[in-house]
Chain A
Amino acid sequence: MKLKKISRKLDLAEIIYYFGGTIIFLGLLTLISQNWASFNFLLKITFTLVLGVILHSLGLILKKFSITKSISPAFFLISALIIPIGFYILADNYGFDTTRAGVQSLIMGVLLLIYFFLYKIVSEKIFLVFAIIFGTCFLLSFSKYALPETWQPSLSRFYEYVVLIIGFIYLLLAQLISKTKHSFISGYLYTFGALAILSSALLLGEGRAYKRLFWDWSYIVFIFGAVFLSAYTKRRSIFVLAVIFLTIYILKITSEYFVKSLGWPVALVLAGMLIIAVTFSCIFLKGKYLKS
């Protein structure tokens, strides 16, 4: 019990360190943004890449001592936030348009490799978190870069598929990470993965009639999948997500398919009854399978 209390205190301290680190990052970002025109390239690089590497090294050194070990993630956080900005400054200095997907995917790809290898060597959880974040950014930017120009108008539809794939990748990663010492990250990955899958699959049910029909009716599989996942992983957040998305789905299906035939009043009554039935079943399931 005593051990748990200490661990909680440390967690709170860690959160405050991260908060402090984020404020330092915002301060640096504001400093460079305000003086963008007056700062030369060397100064901008010093405030980002050089400072980022120094803070990262300092974090690694502090990690070696038991007294200062807990503060090291704050240094890693600041460096992981400012190093990518340095990459953008570097690319911008050589005249590359940093809003282009090609340049962004190159930056994110290099960052993904850096943080993946750092995690492999140093085995610090924050490196894994950043490797996942940069990996997600890489997938989003690279998919836009790889998309043929003729398909660019349907970019938002394309992103729905990409987010769906990212959701499945998160679930796979969560399964892999759950066997490591940083298993708590897998809980977040499961939740974010389920959120990505459920939201993108719901959005895919828009558009042309035949596609809408396929995604609308296959959505029920995703809902049951999420409920199964919540029981398998014992995560209530996934269960809550499944219930919320099921409610939205019922309302969507009612408005799309039953309003014309039954009219709004009857359709609303039907939707309300379905939602009550679903909520009741959910409370029953939650009590049976999600008891901690």
Chain B
Amino acid sequence: MKIFINKNNNYHRLILGIAIPVLGIFVFAIFIYICFLFIKPKLNFLYIAGNNNICLSAYSVREGRLHEGPYPKPDNLGVCHGKAAPSFFVYESSTNISKKISLVEAENLYLNDQPKSPDGYQVVSKSKYAPWPFSLFFKSSNNGYFLEGPTIMKRLYYGNNRMVVFIGWINY
């Protein structure tokens, strides 16, 4: 141990010089991860994802419950319950993960259709550019649906679907 502390040799400087940035990176990574675990919406929310605009727009919240229809044409119902059926997702804030649920499960939820939660979170559709300074050179964007909050913008999971519609915040 003495060999590293001895001021006459410079090895302790070399080791410390390498260790400081490594330690700084680790501290930052751990801090960011802890923040990631704690900065999340207080409420879970329900959203639907699919590729058919008519099917997605048929769902809304009425008297605190998920409501389906009416459809513009009678044959839409069959299509939206068949091939073009949307997928239902619940974003669980405790785990920061989206979980797929069935239509029946979604119909049992108590919902609040305010787009913004009381703690300032909302689902947004936007083009997310590469962070600074990459955005200065190339505007390579990542289009999609995100959960946006006071300090975070997290991409939502919606499988292979193209569109997402926010339904409501889940009240228990």
Which residues from chain A sit less than 8 Å from chain B, CB to CB?
29-30, 32-34, 36-37, 49, 52-53, 56-57, 60-61, 64, 79, 83, 85-92, 94-100, 102-103, 106-107, 110-111, 113-114, 117-118, 121-122
Contact of A118 among B17, B36, B152 (CB under 8 A): B17
* Interface residue tally on B, bucketed by range: 20 to 34
15 A-B residue pairings within 8 Å (CB atoms): A32-B134, A36-B134, A36-B138, A53-B25, A56-B18, A83-B25, A85-B134, A90-B28, A94-B36, A98-B132, A103-B151, A107-B28, A114-B24, A118-B21, A122-B13
Q: Which residues of A contact B17 (CB under 8 A)?
A: 56-57, 60, 118, 121-122
Q: Which residues of A contact B131 (CB under 8 A)?
A: 88-89, 91-92, 98-99
B172 sits at the interface (CB 8 A): no
B153 sits at the interface (CB 8 A): yes
Q: Which secondary structure dominates chain A's binding surface? A: helix
Contact of B10 among A30, A32, A64, A100 (CB under 8 A): A64
Task: Known contacts A37-B142, A53-B22; decide if A95 and B154 are in contact (CB<8 Å).
Answer: yes
Q: Is the CB of B140 within 8 A of A33?
A: yes
In the complex, what residue of chain B is closest to A95 when comparing beta carbons? B154
How far, in whole Å, are A61 and B18 apart by their CA atoms in the complex? 10
B101 sits at the interface (CB 8 A): no
B3 sits at the interface (CB 8 A): no
Contact of B14 among A64, A88, A91 (CB under 8 A): A64
**A-B contacts at CB below 8 angstroms, number:** 101
How far, in whole Å, are A88 and B130 apart by their CA atoms in the complex? 10
How far, in whole Å, are A118 and B33 apart by their CA atoms in the complex? 25
B103 sits at the interface (CB 8 A): no
Which residues from chain B sit less than 8 Å from chain A, CB to CB?
10, 13-14, 16-18, 20-22, 24-25, 27-29, 31-33, 35-36, 130-134, 137-138, 140, 142, 148, 151-155
Q: Which residues of A contact B20 (CB under 8 A)?
A: 114, 117-118, 121
> How far apart are B60's CB and chain A's nearest CB, in angstroms?
28
Q: Is the CB of B155 within 8 A of A95?
A: yes
How far, in whole Å, are A90 and B31 apart by their CA atoms in the complex? 11
How far, in whole Å, are A92 and B151 apart by their CA atoms in the complex? 11
Q: Which residues of B contact A57 (CB under 8 A)?
A: 17-18
How far, in whole Å, are A102 and B31 apart by their CA atoms in the complex? 13
Q: Is the CB of B137 within 8 A of A33?
A: yes
Having A29-B137, A34-B140, A87-B25, one finds 11 other A-B pairs with CB under 8 Å, namely: A29-B134, A30-B138, A49-B25, A56-B18, A57-B17, A89-B131, A97-B152, A99-B132, A100-B151, A106-B31, A118-B17
